[in-house]
């Protein structure tokens, strides 16, 4: 059974980088946990976290709730950027 924290991390509305998390984990599994084999995946994850953190901070400054956009809203934000 998953803890509440683990469930939150698996929730698309809470974790904007779920795909990157899963891809990184899969890469690590496939490469016997040799981190240097998965550098690209770690970088994509890091960039994802940075991007959404900046969006969250901007929304917080502007008083927008919730601070993290929903999965649907994030999809629109990404589409609007091309």
The 10s digit of each residue's pLDDT in 20-78 is 999 999 999 999 999 999 999 999 999 999 999 999 999 999 999 999 999 999 999 99
69, part of any domain: yes
> How many domains does the structure of the chain reveal?
1
18, part of any domain: yes
pTM, 2 dp: 0.84
Neighbouring residues of 13: CB distance < 8 A, sequence distance ≥ 6: 68, 70, 71
7, part of any domain: no
Phi, psi of 8 (to 5 degrees): -60, -40
65, part of any domain: yes
Q: Which domain holds residue 17?
A: 12-80
């Amino acid at each position: 059974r998953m803890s509440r924290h683990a469930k939150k991390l698996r929730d698309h509305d809470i974790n904007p980088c779920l795909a990157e998390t899963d891809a990184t984990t899969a890469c690590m599994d496939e490469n016997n946990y040799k981190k240097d084999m998965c550098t690209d995946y770690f970088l994509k994850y890091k960039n994802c976290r940075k991007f959404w953190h900046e969006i969250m901070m901007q929304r917080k400054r502007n008083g927008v709730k919730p601070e993290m956009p929903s999965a649907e809203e994030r999809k629109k934000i990404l589409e609007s950027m091309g």
